[in-house]
A and B are shown apart, each in its own frame.
Chain A
Amino acid sequence: MKKTCTAALSVALPLLFAPLGAQAAEGTRIQVTGEIIDTWCYYSGVMGSPDAVVGSAHHTCALWCSAGGIPVGLLAEDGTVYMVLKVGDDAEAAGGDTLLNLAAHTVEADGMLYERDGLKYLVVADVVSDLDITNQNHNDYGNVPPFSIPDPNK
């Protein structure tokens, strides 16, 4: 069995792994609507629950994380997170202006979806519409984190 496996795998393994590492993946065109979010706070829970680290409550922190080069995501209405790699001609997904200006906005995006190793990546060809901040959740959660608005009394 061991001999047979070695022979079979020597043929099969390169075929399995080579396309992933050596070639571009196949994309799928999609249209998706969702909020431009700070993925680190969303995934890590470092600032609170997922519902608290989106929308107006988290707008300032989303600006900080986007300017700081943390990956920006599009949180779709069904809860799926798409990691945004490019918007239009702007491939500066680590701290670039386009994504910074969209922080916490809800957008309708048209682009190509790529999936690899459990994550969904989105290359946005066109922001079809920018609906600004639609999730006005600061009355439910306050400003998150609390120091995102400097205390005017200090």
Chain B
Amino acid sequence: MKHLIACLALIASPLAAQDFSEGSEARSWNLYAEVPAKFDAEVVDVLCTLTGDCPDDCGAGRRQLGLVRTADDVLVLPMKNSQPAFTGAAVELAPFCGQTVTVDGLMLDDPELGANNVYLLQTIQAADAEKIKANQWTKVWAKNHPDATGKGPWFRRDPRVKSIIETEGYLGLGLDVDQNYIEENF
């Protein structure tokens, strides 16, 4: 047992201190806690991994997907894709459900806030395939919302978002509160 503990201590420090920034070409977002990180990982359905509730397609982009890092078996949660447009990463990763891919992006590391192993995904490379940008979300949204026409980005035209704002207001406290706030502040 003493030997085993000594051996584990020998391997534990390199794993804990592992630096995934080597070779990363991730673009900075000038975030306080960002750290470039490129690594190999399996794309998993987080709910499936934790609870055993596992649809065949990982939820087809509607469940949160995770990245189980090959080097250390750590489950990384991708929160953002590469578009500066309030868009997540599950749609980008869904086509790679169950596959091992190489990802590049920015890890957020802010233990004070509890930001551990959360990630902004910028590129994905599957085996024997070209590297692709993780920027498909708005294209998928446009395909699914052909009637959401008009000016402005997707989040101004999304029917579900518009419907909630029309009833609850921008502040979520009712239309009267919105009206008073807008009169005072614009």
- Seen from chain A, the residues whose Cβ lies within 8 Å of a Cβ on chain B are 1, 4-5, 8-9, 12, 17, 20-21, 23-25, 27, 39-40, 42-46, 50, 56-57, 59-61, 63-65, 67-71, 79-81, 83, 85-86, 91-97, 100-101, 103-104, 112, 114, 116-119, 121, 123, 132-133, 136, 138, 142-143, 148-153
Contact = CB atoms under 8 A, between A and B. Distances in A.
A110 B19 CA distance: 38
A83 B64 CA distance: 10
B138 to A, nearest CB: 9
B91 A94 contact: yes
B7 interface: yes
B77 interface: yes
A8 to B, nearest CB: 5
B137 interface: yes
B175 interface: no
B79 interface: yes
Contacts of B181: 138, 143, 149
B20 interface: no
Contact of A25 (B50, B65, B170): B50
A117 B64 contact: no
A23 B168 CA distance: 43
Given A12-B4, A43-B79, A43-B118, A86 B47 contact: yes
Secondary structure of the B contact surface, majority rule? mixed
A4 B8 CA distance: 12
B85 interface: yes
Contacts of A43: 33, 79, 108, 110, 113-115, 118
Given A4-B3, A64-B161, A121-B50, A85 B116 contact: no
B127 interface: no
B68 interface: yes
B76 to A, nearest CB: 8
Contacts of B132: none
Given A44-B115, A70-B86, 13 more contacts: A21-B68, A25-B49, A43-B110, A44-B29, A59-B168, A60-B172, A68-B88, A83-B64, A85-B46, A93-B62, A94-B88, A101-B164, A143-B181
Interface of B: 3-4, 6-8, 10-11, 29, 31-33, 46-47, 49-53, 59, 61-65, 68, 73-77, 79-80, 85-91, 108, 110, 113-118, 120, 137, 155-156, 158, 160-161, 164-165, 168, 170-173, 178, 181-182, 185-186
16 contacts: A8-B4, A21-B68, A39-B118, A56-B172, A59-B168, A60-B170, A68-B155, A69-B87, A71-B64, A85-B64, A86-B47, A100-B160, A117-B117, A119-B114, A152-B182, A152-B186
B119 to A, nearest CB: 11
Closest 9 CB pairs of A and B: A118-B116, A69-B88, A59-B172, A24-B52, A94-B90, A5-B7, A64-B86, A43-B115, A92-B62
A36 to B, nearest CB: 11
Contacts of B170: 59-60, 143, 148-149
